[in-house]
């Protein structure tokens, strides 16, 4: 073999190693944001499991506020459906939009429930209600932290995928679209734990 053939083979080998590195980095970053979403999923499921307890405790005190309680359950179910869609495709734009829409409806319904509950001092003092509201607030904080970790992982993935030279090869490796950040309708309000006062 002559020297030019050896140099050509070395260049090709280095290029292949570099392409493998790009592919592995893309996969690694995608796995990170998918794992981060799994943490959000755990916390949102916990939140959705707490809401029926909240409604059941409130029912005894608010029998004539049935419409408000039903709206909370309907919003919870919509948010749970959004989570299921997003869990099957973390980062996909339409799945994230469905989850964000469901979470917005749930936040609004819980806000209306809180306003109605202000008229029931016995309910606010109920030990079960205080415990459920404390768990719900704690879960909201965990959702916020998990969402931040997810958004950080998505940003890292998108930044790498959009940079040169990975942008040239990303679509060849099945990474043709950016992952979508998870932003709720009222990001400023979500950043701080919601007021759940009973």
| Domain spans, the chain | 3-191
Which one is predicted more confidently, 59 or 34?
34
On whether the CB atoms of residues 182 and 99 are closer than 8 A, the answer is yes
The runs of H, that is alpha helices, within 60-92 are 66-88
- Give residue 147's pLDDT: 93
- Give residue 189's pLDDT: 43
Q: Residue 197 — very low, low, confident or very high, per pLDDT cuts 50/70/90? A: very low
Mark 50-84 as b/e (b = at least 16 C-beta within 10 Å): bbeebbebbeebbeebeebbebbeebbebbbebbe
Strands (E), the chain: none
Tell me the pLDDT tens digit for each residue of 51-88. Answer: 998 888 888 777 767 888 889 999 999 999 999 999 99
Right CATH number for 3-191 from 1.20.1440.20, 3.20.20.100, 3.40.50.300, 2.60.40.60?
Answer: 1.20.1440.20
């Amino acid at each position: 073999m002559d020297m030019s053939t050896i140099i050509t083979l070395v260049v090709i080998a280095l290029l292949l190693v570099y392409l493998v590195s790009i592919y592995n980095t893309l996969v690694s970053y995608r796995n990170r944001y998918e794992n981060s979403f799994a943490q959000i999923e755990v916390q949102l499921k916990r939140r959705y499991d707490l809401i029926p307890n909240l409604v059941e405790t409130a029912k005894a005190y608010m029998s004539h506020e049935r419409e408000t309680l039903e709206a909370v359950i309907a919003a919870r179910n919509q948010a749970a459906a959004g989570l299921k869609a997003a869990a099957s495709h973390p980062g996909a734009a339409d799945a994230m939009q469905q989850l964000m829409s469901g979470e917005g409806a749930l936040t609004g319904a819980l806000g209306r429930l809180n306003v109605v509950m202000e008229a029931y001092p016995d309910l606010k003092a109920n030990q079960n209600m205080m415990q459920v509201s404390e768990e719900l607030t704690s879960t909201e904080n965990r959702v916020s932290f998990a969402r931040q970790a997810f958004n950080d992982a998505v940003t890292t993935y998108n930044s790498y995928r959009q940079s040169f030279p990975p942008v040239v090869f990303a679509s060849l490796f099945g990474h043709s679209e950016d992952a979508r950040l998870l932003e709720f309708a009222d990001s400023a309000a979500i950043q701080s734990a919601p007021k759940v006062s009973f």
